[in-house]
Structure 1
Amino acid sequence: MVPEVDAVTGAVARLVGTHAGDVRDVGAYAVLQGLLDGTPAAVGVMSPTMRYLYVNPALARMNGLPAEVHLGRTIGEVLPDLDAKEDVLRAVLRDGVPREATSSGTTHAGPPGRRWWHGAYHRLEHEGEVVGLAAVLLEVSESRRTQLELDAARRRLAVLDAAATRVGTTLDLVETCEELAELFVAELSDVATVDVFAVEGANGAPHQPLDMVRMWRAALSHRPGMSEQAAILRQPGENVDYQQGSMVPRALSERSPVVVNRAADEEMARQVSSPDRLAVFRSVGLHSVVALPLVARGSAIGMVTMSRHGAADEFSPEDVILARDLARRGAISVDNARRYAHEHDIALALQHALLAAPDAPHPDIELASRYRPAGSSVEVGGDWYDAVALSGGRTLLAVGDVMGHGVQAAVEMSQFRALLRVQARSDLEPHEILAAVDRTSTKAGIERVASCLLVLVDPATDTVTFASAGHLPPLLVGPGDAAELVDVPVGPPLGTGFGGYGSVRRRSDPDRVLVMYTDGLVERRGEDIGESLQRLTRVGLTAETPLVRLVDTVIARMITDKPEDDIAVLAARRRPSAPDRT
């Protein structure tokens, strides 16, 4: 036995008052010995230098080693895989304040896997001398595992709740994928990518290579300071080809996560997108990857791939379970965005096909027009403009907006436009044309209503006649930067069946430009419409500007951010009549 063991054993003997021939003291020591040996709590005594002096049978069984093997050795020498919180023990020896701590790790006994113990520690003293440290430990593995499971469940619920509020905030496919990748990085990984299936003939991918699975990278996210790890990957907007048999095709085929944790180079080369990229991945410390299929409504629509690098832990089973649940939630949002994008593209193509350019007016009228959709995150509206050449040198200009968005709005826009063209050739006044279209559209069963502004330009009489069905007033731009809104009587929208339209007539002025528009040009959330219209009069337009440039200028100056609605603008200017023109 080492000298310090003898010294402290002698001190403990003195503490219990053991003297040769003293029957009472020997009996007291035997009672104390029986108490320590018989208690189910693990009890140990350590020297001031943190070496075992005494280990009761319960502690010996817990550690899986005989008591005598402990004596004279440190905790680390006896149990190298145990986190014993030795800093707490040293603090107790230093200041004498009792403390409690929970240690964890593995011993030489018991079931495999991590276990937990809760210990109480106090300093032993004799005649003012620190003689050791006493420890009483109880195993709390069961309650600790239960607590960890509860904590994991709470974390899963918190992350899934975050997915519900942070992913799918728009119907834009790229933004939705970016939100999903950012959430994976925030909760689980160093780097995350989101890929969706490439569209035939799109994104520079007319054909899929043989023996490869081609996807389109929609998003990439990484932790701060990991730009080098992210830079080696295919960037958003590029195609990514995965070798057959690698983890991404497997995950898509099996519809379940595929995990590669700290695999050897040979195995990792089979799992990544291409074997020749393994060296690049290893150069930035990549060691663990998880591929998670995005499956919605029974179909695989994409893939989330997350990775860990450097000193980060490998992915645990709990990480994979959380990631799988997160991918399931995210897949619904991604699929909604994909479906919306498909419908949006159809509606936009339909609207462009139906809208095209306005008909050619009479030679007396110069026109310029622009249609600007709100963007992929907002549904296509039913905005339109038109010009119809009538008898007697007259030209009817029209701008309208069908209520609502989507394919149906675009279809009904074409119906209103066709009705206007038919009625315009009946030599009716603008307010009479609106009344006829209102009656006809109601009888025809067109479900949506539409606002419309008509302007009849008559060079023969030097007049311009205005009529409105629930539409915003036109703008007259004069020389310099003079601009005014025309006060037009406003009737109900078309399709209501109420009728009641009026007209206002003004002299035509070749020195002025007429600007007609839909509400997407001026309306802003949180801004009064009157303020919006006054802002339009102050944008600094001039009638001398070429019409195309004037239209582009008014849109650029009125729309400083992503537009909230579709915009249609039609600008017209009278050309001076030739002397022999009727």
Structure 2
Amino acid sequence: MTKQLGGGDPAPPATQASPGTSLAGGPDDAEPHIDRLRYLDAATRRIARGMDLDETLHELCGAAVPAFTDTAFVHLYAPLPVGDEAGAAAGVLRLHSADRASPPDPGTRYSGPPPTDIRAVPAAEVVNPAADGLLSKLLQDGRPVFGNTPGVTSAAAELLGTASAPPAVPPGRRLIIAPLHGRSHVLGSVVLIRGTGRPEFTDDDLIVASQLATHTALGLEKAMLYEREAAIADTLQRTMLPPSLPEAPGVRLASRYLPSSRTAQVGGDWYDAIPLPGNRVALVIGDVMGHSMTSAAIMGQLRTSAQTLAGLDLPPDEVLHHLDEQAGRLGSEHTATCLYAMYDPVQHRLVVSSAGHLPPVLLHPDGRAEVLHVPPGAPIGVGSGGFESVETHAPAGATLLLYTDGLVESRDSDVLTGVEALRARLRAASSGSVPPTLEKLCDEALGALGAGGRDDDIALLAARFEGILPETVAYWYMAPRPQTAGQARRLTRRTLDHWGLESLVETTELMVSEVVANAVRFASRPITLRLLCTDVLRCEVGDDSPIVPRMRHARLSDEGGRGLFLVDQLSQRWGATRVSTGKVVWFEQPLPDASTCD
């Protein structure tokens, strides 16, 4: 990898030695040692400003050229060793940065134009030092050396790409090889060259080169470790977010997640959409306070707990109550905000509860953006509880937006101002005659925040409610009696004939009979039978027993035990879910081609 950097910076600050002083051995410097210390102080502070690998090398070249040298070549091992991991015995050095002196800026003390002889000095793009060769030993030793030192010339030739001939360097002490030696690894080398228009390097200049190389190596290690930790935390966070959103009947979903540009992509924002029994769907969004790997880990624990609690089909306020208890058991000092909403596409109802989270925005079909009033409650982890659920009508065509504070809060505006700005963007996006797509609406909600420069992570979950038409749902309560299975078969046949699904009657009757007969065995209260016709035909049988049936393979001598085996063979998919009132056993079948349930 090769990167060409620009020339030296403008005139250095007053505390830095100017080009042409004792750093180049000039006669007009009365205090060479003090000047070198001033230069090193300014140069090392400049190198420490680098936040990543490229910036660190850029600052090194800017500090060294032309104040200390006319040319600087940097070769780094590829791949670079990081942390305490064992490095390879022999690696490949690649030219990463190259900088040469530019014409001096007005007001500097650099004498004359940049030397022309150094511009003819090449640098090897790739170097393969032998494990027991001179260059490898020189780099392992860690001390800078002059290139014309006996026995070092061949190592300099490797770095300059002139292994078959003497290095094309002006004669004398005009080349220094300074190893980049970190805390536990050799990272590469810096080659410093002076042209004939300047004095040769001195022994004191070896000390300067050593300090420049040491601070550069430490800066490189710091940058690499920071990037690795950020990458690990970002990977951890992203793997804990849902890879895709479920396709739930009666609702369309879209999401956005944008990491903070100021926190190395480490945060605790999360969202989720969880299918529930009865074609309902839970919509969850949360934000763990802080930006660290700990925040990302706690986010994963809370998201997993929320998925487990959602499977119990608890009301939103009870889900948050149990999440708060779980956070207390985890013993973490981190708190989190969370909003849990449950949408029923059959009844077109929305139930929402909040744990200190920002209120959602409901965009009505007529373009009106309403901030839903939800009692805020205390954040998760505080332990005070007091969560409340509110219920509202969710008309078909409406869109609900759940978001974290990074979308509406910044250094320049407070939350209330940000929420009003979000409402304005949503109203403007819905002002046309054709409603925007859900993906387009998410982009409009982000606005200019999607372009970068964010102070905080942003998580956004959007749900467009389509609902399920009442005429595509059939629902019955039946007493748990031996005759109930036959009653369920008759109701199923009549409903499917009405929906024009005669081809599914025989298989559906058989599966309904088996599932209802199993429910009758354990139920003590009326069981429920519900048929839904959306993009598939779905049957749900609920009872008050928490015992979930398991499919088993019956022996030839067994008189029963084949019911769920038949369901497994005849249905597209099936399952059993525990709920707060017992359990629901369901199965689905694909609709015949061109069939509808009108």
TM-score tier, shorter chain, comes to 0.5 to 0.7
Residues 1:159 and 2:159 are matched in the alignment:
no
Q: Which residue number corresponds to residue 188 of structure 1? A: 68
TM-score normalised to the size of structure 1? Answer: 0.62
Q: 1:257 to 1:379 in 2, by over 3 A?
A: farther
C-alpha contact (below 8 Å) 2:262/2:454 kept by paired residues: no
Within the candidate set 447, 450, 457, 1:566 is matched to: 457
Within the candidate set 161, 164, 169, 1:274 is matched to: 161
Which deviates the most, 393-402 or 318-327?
A: 318-327
Distance 1:286 1:462 in 2: 86
How far 1:419 sits from its partner (Å)?
A: 1.2
Report which of the two structures shows the higher radius of gyration computed on alpha carbons.
1
C-alpha contact (below 8 Å) 2:403/2:461 kept by paired residues: yes
Identity of aligned residues (%): 31
- Please show how residues 260-339 of structure 1 align to structure 2 within 5 Å: 260=147, 270-275=157-162, 288-309=174-195, 311-339=197-225
Q: Which residue number corresponds to residue 512 of structure 1? A: 398
How far 1:365 sits from its partner (Å)?
A: 1.6
Q: Look up the equivalent residue of 2:309 and give its one-letter code.
A: Q
Paired positions, count: 427
Distance 2:349 2:199 in 1: 79
Q: Which residue number corresponds to residue 522 of structure 1? A: 408
Distance 1:555 1:299 in 2: 44
Within the candidate set 179, 183, 201, 2:59 is matched to: 179
How far 1:389 sits from its partner (Å)?
A: 1.1
Structure with the bigger percentage of helix: 1
How far 1:310 sits from its partner (Å)?
A: 6.6
Q: Look up the equivalent residue of 1:541 and give its one-letter code.
A: A
Q: Which residue number corresponds to residue 239 of structure 2? A: 353
After superposition, what is the alpha-carbon deviation per residue over 1:380-403, rounded to whole angstroms, capped at 9, x for unaligned?
112211111112222111111222
SS in structure 2 at match of 1:275 = coil
Residues 1:424 and 2:424 are matched in the alignment:
no
After superposition, what is the alpha-carbon deviation per residue over 1:463-511, rounded to whole angstroms, capped at 9, x for unaligned?
2222222222323345687544333322222112121223333211332
Q: 1:282 to 1:492 in 2, by over 3 A?
A: farther
C-alpha contact (below 8 Å) 1:191/1:220 kept by paired residues: yes
Distance 2:356 2:172 in 1: 62
Q: Which residue number corresponds to residue 259 of structure 1? A: 146
SS in structure 1 at match of 2:298 = helix
Higher RCO, 1 or 2 (CA under 8 Å, sep at least 6)? 2
Distance 2:374 2:306 in 1: 19
Q: 1:377 to 1:385 in 2, by over 3 A?
A: closer
Q: 1:266 to 1:253 in 2, by over 3 A?
A: closer
Residues 1:541 and 2:429 are matched in the alignment:
yes
Q: Look up the equivalent residue of 1:197 and give its one-letter code.
A: Y
After superposition, what is the alpha-carbon deviation per residue over 1:86-107, rounded to whole angstroms, capped at 9, x for unaligned?
xxxxxxxxxxxxxxxxxxxxxx
Distance 2:254 2:99 in 1: 43
Q: Which residue number corresponds to residue 402 of structure 1? A: 288
SS in structure 2 at match of 1:385 = strand
Within the candidate set 149, 154, 177, 2:33 is matched to: 149
After superposition, what is the alpha-carbon deviation per residue over 1:24-77, rounded to whole angstroms, capped at 9, x for unaligned?
xxxxxxxxxxxxxxxxxxxxxxxxxxxxxxxxxxxxxxxxxxxxxxxxxxxxxx
Q: 1:264 to 1:324 in 2, by over 3 A?
A: closer
C-alpha contact (below 8 Å) 2:176/2:193 kept by paired residues: yes
How far 1:289 sits from its partner (Å)?
A: 3.8
C-alpha contact (below 8 Å) 2:127/2:159 kept by paired residues: no
TM-score normalised to the size of structure 2? Answer: 0.61
How far 1:278 sits from its partner (Å)?
A: 7.8
How far 1:528 sits from its partner (Å)?
A: 2.6
After superposition, what is the alpha-carbon deviation per residue over 1:148-203, rounded to whole angstroms, capped at 9, x for unaligned?
32333333334334445xx24x3x3433343333333364234435454323999x
C-alpha contact (below 8 Å) 1:247/1:271 kept by paired residues: no
Within the candidate set 272, 276, 289, 1:390 is matched to: 276
Q: Look up the equivalent residue of 2:219 and give its one-letter code.
A: S
Distance 2:324 2:40 in 1: 56
Distance 1:499 1:351 in 2: 27
Q: 1:178 to 1:483 in 2, by over 3 A?
A: farther
Unmatched runs of 5 consecutive residues or more in structure 1 = 1-113, 118-143
Q: Which residue number corresponds to residue 92 of structure 2? A: 214
Structure with the bigger percentage of strand: 1
Within the candidate set 331, 334, 341, 1:448 is matched to: 334
Q: Look up the equivalent residue of 2:272 and give its one-letter code.
A: D
